[in-house]
Structure 1
Amino acid sequence: MDNDIATTGDIKLDHAIKQWMRFDKNPKTLAAVRGMVKEREVEKLKRCFGARMEFGTAGLRAAMGPGISQMNDLTIIQTTQGFCTYLEKSFPDLKERGVVIGHHTHTICALHCIPSQTLCWDHGDSLSQPKTGQWLQGLLGEWSSDHPPHDKGIASAIEENLEPWPQSWEEHLAQESPLVKDPYQDINREYFKAIQEVCFNRSINKSSEVKFIHTSVHGVGHAFVQSAFRAFDLRPPFAVPEQKDPDPEFPTVKYPNPEEGEGVLTLSFKLANKEGATVVLANDPDADRLAVAEKQESGQWRVSQEMSLAHCWAGGCFVAGSRVSDSTKVKEVYMLASTVSSKILRAIALKEGFHFEETLTGFKWMGNRAKQLLDQGKMVLFAFEEAIGYMCCPAVLDKDGVSAAAIAAELTSYLATKDLSLSQQLKAIYDEYGYHITKNSYFICHDQDIIRQLFERLRNYDGENTYPKTCGGFTVSGVRDLTTGYDSDQQDKKAVLPTSKSSQMITFTFSNGGVATMRTSGTEPKIKYYTELCAAPGNSDLKQLKMELDDLVDAIVENFFEPKKNNLEPKPE
């Protein structure tokens, strides 16, 4: 069979295939690779073996399937082996601390005599990502291990430990090992105890008659959101029955992500109309994100990231009112957001006097910064990212769709006592602090050379080391390039935020108040763009602002992306 493999004409690719067939013991993935080799399916082999998964903003993420570019038994074993090796080097007391595992890779830890805490074992339940993160904080004392320079160190350790260790495939060893513990009940209890601290008005919650719909989109969120509502003394939400139980096939949705908008929420709207509910809360499958939709007077549903931001921000205000006392000055309060997120918090901070900080994209950056501030005795009240991710409770330094759902319901219940809707609350925020409207999307591109050329063109637009001065009819007033470290707004022209030459990210500021960031995805073949138009308080011509933002986006797509020339695929509808 080895002789048959060397057919691609690519020595590196052929080596990767041979190595895989020597290491893999899963009959399904091994058979799939052998089938591709037999049929000489070179393009498929290139997709499976062309490049190993890399750390992105969310760690390692890929589709399930054979090969080093996808999630499967062998890549998980290799990753865990490298991770264990790296942790042993980084934490001398690792064997006293132990590690947290979201699923069954305990065997490898046990082989290294590392105690492991499993969060989904005998009982068949799975924890949400935020609760896994909370437990990890307690054991290692450091959140976000894929934060630089750890990400590169872990990646190197994985490459150095590709051959499965003896007995790595013997999963039964973990079940028999005294080193493997199951803290499920403990973490469940401690988590809901922790989020109760951000519950601000139980009396209103108990008496509220507001009806909510919740969907976990075939993920793990159902039981946890029900428990979170009980922890807040809220009436339990109606669950979308077809979507409340975990199902990896996601049979009722095309894309199992509430970021995609109304298409994911069709069944939720149907149930809401039946039960007379006006608010839908939707978690993504691992329950770390939350989307909110509200029924308008017209009968149409409004689902937007601004809606989620409005309720989470307002919730934060109420929490602040109960937690920020005379002994805690406003200047000790911090709120965080990723650099591609809405600038609404910055506008609020300027007026109210608290601190607002931006970080790079991903909650690993916000989580680490939040921990630094908490260690300094500061109050970190809230953090968010544009992709409907919110950190509403300092006990979990990560985005958490479960606590966010309870806070959203609590805020909605409070507003109901004032005869206000979420949409009306959002308008009040915009009226006071200025409209901040966003429009984000992406293009698909599988060719890394095209992506690199696209960004290099922007860096040499009118000659070497020059950036665009205009985009269509819009004037560029500032450029920040976090790939090269250039920032035109800084006196020394050096960016303040960390830079990375391995990823592409350029932000353009426009004279009309618009901001646009173009970046590559660390986990998917996408070029993403995030745009926002910020208006001064008192400018209430929302229709005109939206038209202006649409024109700006059109100009950016036409002049900076050049989708036809670069053969870019638009975001699927």
Structure 2
Amino acid sequence: MAFIKKFGNKELDDKIEEWIRWDKRDDTCDEIKKLVQNDNENELNNRLLKRMAFGTAGLRARMGAGYSMMNDLTIIQTTQGFAKYMLTVTPNVRKNGVVIGFDGRHNSHRFAQRVARVLTLQNIKVYTMSHTCPTPFVPYTVLSKGCDWGIMVTASHNPKDDNGYKVYYSNGAQIIEPHDEYISRSILENLEPWENVWQLDETDNNLCTDVYKETFTNYIKDLEGLCHFKDENSKTDVKFTYTAMHGVGYPAIQKAFEIFNLPKPIPVIEQVEVDPEFTTVQFPNPEEGKSALNLAMKTADENDCKVILANDPDADRLALAEKQANGEWKCFSGNELGSLYLWWLSTRLDITNTSRGDVYAIASTVSSQIIGSIARVENFKFEETLTGFKWMGNKAHELRKKGKTVLFAFEEAIGFMCSDKVLDKDGISAAVVLAEMIIHLAKENLNCKQQLEKIYEKYGQHISRNSYFICHDEATINKLFNDIRNFDGKGKYPSHCGRFEIKYIRDLTTGYDNSQPDNKPILPVSASSQMLTFTFSNGCIATLRTSGTEPKIKYYTEYCAEPGRSREEVSNELNEMIEAIIEHFYRPKENHLTPRPN
């Protein structure tokens, strides 16, 4: 190590030597050495003196050398700390086991092998996947095998240079507080790699069981319980184009369509196989709409197909595009799809003779309030949670323990849970349920857009507009939100946004909600993230929040109007309100914010 240049910063110098001593991968070790040789002190500071934060979403970061990035050493360190926490909290984990899955990204398979190696060194039984798999397979296996924990190596729809580490608890839902805090603490107490931890070829095979085929088979079999019209499905002339967005969804989609007696999906050839480079898309996220679905639309047009179903790369999300009579493609928002799903699933309740008094639908607080509107009219219950499927999954578990039926859960970011066999968003089950609904509508000479209009006529116009600004500077983000909290310069929240009067404000960062008698919110408070919700006097609701995984300041707006108002009138007023929110709250020029790419 004599070649290492000393920077005069003892903390940094020590970390450089520590990294080279601990990291046994030539590529990442050489990456640090090269930064040293190039005198790149600033980059070394960012990589070695900062550490990825382990949160309720686990880890997600760019791959590369250093403690602030995803690599073999940080995977080992994370799992060492997590393993020690497992043994403390779930002492039977050695018998009950942990399920490990991985997506098709660069390094995901090897990272999953690193996880298995660490756990088996602690004599913990692991259920592994020998093949890339959809993220829903992991929470499914946690429940079906009675595991204490699940780990999925994935970065979902993030750019190709990212990877992540997602954790599930024994209830089949993503972890929530305080697990993340305790795991994070345990990681910091177990940073030095254990003896023999780097030897992947020495993983104890007696402790490792490959459950990929078993999981695949049982998962598909369980989907059959969601199918109600097998004969109708087999006779349809409706066609479906499918894209996996260079991800892992296609094998499961094929089998899911088969068990529903649906016509074979038409694949977007360039995108159905795993490609960690995401060669054909700038952002591998079908939520981006037409910009991500150009090839799918081309394939559909070539095959005289009017419906596109799109998974994201780890197949836990689902998007829909539908060709209209005028030849234009309509990309449905998550809120629009949520409305269609709940309408459809609620009509199935009579078929299954389910008591509506024990039925629940769940949505996150930034998702459309039409879920509550449908639940009230159709006589079942609605529960609202914080943003993120970790909250909805845990709420679903809580309700199931009370003997309740969870009909549906969704978030506006095209995440849908149509079965409580998976207590997380699931793009495979969502695809076949939606396909069956589309076939049924076609028999009535309706498409999804027309059915959506019927839903709005019955339950009221609910128009949502969601978007975001990009900001990489945490100080700017904090200032933006604090300026709103100190809108008058005297420590008070705003009473108006432009000409629009604000009736209620809920601040889940500081714990304030003036719609409640004691000014305290019902939903959990988290000081580690920014989240403000405004309820306007005209019925519009707007939420501003930061993302836990991306450098975005998001806004979610919805105008919930009574039945009878024209959609055009409601839409125009909502657009005016959004302009006011951007002008008065975001102030993009002043705060140097980058608008969402078109």
* TM bucket normalised to smaller: over 0.9
- What is the rounded CA distance, in whole Å, between the counterparts of 2:192 and 2:225 in structure 1? 47
Q: Give 3-state SS (helix, strand or coil) of 1:565's partner.
A: helix
Q: CA deviation at 1:374?
A: 0.7
Deviation string 1:236-272 (CA, Å, 9 cap, x unpaired) is: 1101111111010000101001011111111111111
**TM-score normalised to structure 2 length:** 0.91
Structure 2 match to 1:109: 119
- What is the rounded CA distance, in whole Å, between the counterparts of 1:431 and 1:17 in structure 2? 64
Q: CA deviation at 1:5?
A: 5.6
Structure 2 match to 1:165: 194
Worse overlay, 503-512 or 218-227: 503-512
Structure 2 match to 1:127: 133
Is this contact kept in 2: 1:290–1:308, CA < 8 A? no
Structure 2 match to 1:551: 576
Task: Tell me if 1:473 matches 2:499.
Answer: yes
- What is the rounded CA distance, in whole Å, between the counterparts of 1:24 and 1:524 in structure 2? 28
Q: CA deviation at 1:16?
A: 4.3
- Please point out which of 537, 545, 550 is paired with 1:519: 545
Deviation string 1:64-113 (CA, Å, 9 cap, x unpaired) is: 22222221111111111111111111002111101011132211111000
- What is the rounded CA distance, in whole Å, between the counterparts of 1:233 and 1:151 in structure 2? 42
Is this contact kept in 1: 2:487–2:494, CA < 8 A? yes
Paired residues for 1:395-414 under 5 Å: 395-414=421-440
Task: Tell me if 1:312 matches 2:341.
Answer: yes
Q: CA deviation at 1:273?
A: 0.7
Is this contact kept in 2: 1:131–1:187, CA < 8 A? yes
Structure 1 match to 2:409: 383
Write the letter of the residue equivalent to 1:190.
N
Structure 2 match to 1:264: 292
Structure 2 match to 1:322: 351
Structure 1 match to 2:516: 490
TM-aligned CA distance change 1:403 to 1:245, over 3 Å? same
Q: CA deviation at 1:136?
A: 1.6
Is this contact kept in 1: 2:117–2:197, CA < 8 A? yes
Paired residues for 1:138-153 under 5 Å: 138-140=146-148, 141-153=170-182
Write the letter of the residue equivalent to 2:7.
T
TM-aligned CA distance change 1:365 to 1:14, over 3 Å? farther
Paired residues for 1:238-257 under 5 Å: 238-257=266-285
TM-aligned CA distance change 1:18 to 1:450, over 3 Å? farther
- What is the rounded CA distance, in whole Å, between the counterparts of 1:254 and 1:209 in structure 2? 33
- What is the rounded CA distance, in whole Å, between the counterparts of 1:148 and 1:177 in structure 2? 33
TM-aligned CA distance change 1:523 to 1:198, over 3 Å? same
Deviation string 1:272-296 (CA, Å, 9 cap, x unpaired) is: 1111111000000000000000001
Structure 2 match to 1:118: 128
Write the letter of the residue equivalent to 2:485.
R
- Please point out which of 563, 566, 588 is paired with 1:537: 563
Structure 1 match to 2:167: none
RMSD: 1.8
Write the letter of the residue equivalent to 2:222.
A
Is this contact kept in 2: 1:310–1:422, CA < 8 A? no
Q: Give 3-state SS (helix, strand or coil) of 2:253's partner.
A: helix
- What is the rounded CA distance, in whole Å, between the counterparts of 2:311 and 2:474 in structure 1? 32
TM-aligned CA distance change 1:566 to 1:233, over 3 Å? same
Q: Any stretches of 5+ residues in structure 1 without a counterpart? A: none
Structure 2 match to 1:178: 206
- What is the rounded CA distance, in whole Å, between the counterparts of 1:18 and 1:527 in structure 2? 38
Q: Any stretches of 5+ residues in structure 2 without a counterpart? A: 102-111, 149-169
Deviation string 1:358-400 (CA, Å, 9 cap, x unpaired) is: 1111111111110111111101000000100000011111100
Write the letter of the residue equivalent to 1:572.
P
Q: CA deviation at 1:354?
A: 1.0
Worse overlay, 27-36 or 203-212: 27-36
Structure 2 match to 1:221: 249
TM-aligned CA distance change 1:261 to 1:8, over 3 Å? farther
Write the letter of the residue equivalent to 2:118.
I
Paired residues for 1:500-511 under 5 Å: 500-511=526-537
Worse overlay, 294-303 or 201-210: 201-210
- What is the rounded CA distance, in whole Å, between the counterparts of 1:435 and 1:451 in structure 2? 33
Paired residues for 1:56-455 under 5 Å: 56=55, 58-102=57-101, 103-104=112-113, 105-119=115-129, 121=130, 125-137=131-143, 138-140=146-148, 141-174=170-203, 176-305=204-333, 306-323=335-352, 325=353, 328-455=354-481
TM-aligned CA distance change 1:133 to 1:421, over 3 Å? same
Q: Give 3-state SS (helix, strand or coil) of 2:408's partner.
A: strand
Q: CA deviation at 1:21?
A: 2.8
- What is the rounded CA distance, in whole Å, between the counterparts of 2:271 and 2:397 in structure 1? 35
* Aligned residue pair count: 563
Q: CA deviation at 1:144?
A: 3.3
Q: CA deviation at 1:206?
A: 1.4
Q: CA deviation at 1:7?
A: 3.3
Is this contact kept in 2: 1:200–1:318, CA < 8 A? no
Worse overlay, 244-253 or 131-140: 131-140
TM-aligned CA distance change 1:548 to 1:42, over 3 Å? farther
Structure 1 match to 2:595: 570
Is this contact kept in 2: 1:310–1:425, CA < 8 A? no
Is this contact kept in 1: 2:54–2:183, CA < 8 A? no
Deviation string 1:415-456 (CA, Å, 9 cap, x unpaired) is: 011111011011001111112121212222222222222212
Worse overlay, 314-323 or 62-71: 314-323
Deviation string 1:119-173 (CA, Å, 9 cap, x unpaired) is: 2x2xxx2111011111123312323353111111111111111111111111112
Deviation string 1:283-317 (CA, Å, 9 cap, x unpaired) is: 00000000000001110100021442243223312
TM-aligned CA distance change 1:203 to 1:36, over 3 Å? same
Q: CA deviation at 1:463?
A: 4.2
TM-aligned CA distance change 1:547 to 1:99, over 3 Å? same
TM-aligned CA distance change 1:217 to 1:412, over 3 Å? same
TM-aligned CA distance change 1:447 to 1:549, over 3 Å? same
Is this contact kept in 2: 1:52–1:68, CA < 8 A? yes
TM-aligned CA distance change 1:418 to 1:14, over 3 Å? farther
Worse overlay, 67-76 or 399-408: 67-76
Q: CA deviation at 1:521?
A: 1.5
- What is the rounded CA distance, in whole Å, between the counterparts of 2:303 and 2:86 in structure 1? 51
- What is the rounded CA distance, in whole Å, between the counterparts of 2:581 and 2:136 in structure 1? 36
Structure 2 match to 1:37: 36
Is this contact kept in 2: 1:100–1:117, CA < 8 A? yes
- What is the rounded CA distance, in whole Å, between the counterparts of 1:311 and 1:225 in structure 2? 20
Deviation string 1:27-67 (CA, Å, 9 cap, x unpaired) is: 11122222222223344334434532224563311222222
Q: CA deviation at 1:554?
A: 1.5
- What is the rounded CA distance, in whole Å, between the counterparts of 1:547 and 1:354 in structure 2? 32
- What is the rounded CA distance, in whole Å, between the counterparts of 2:391 and 2:208 in structure 1? 30
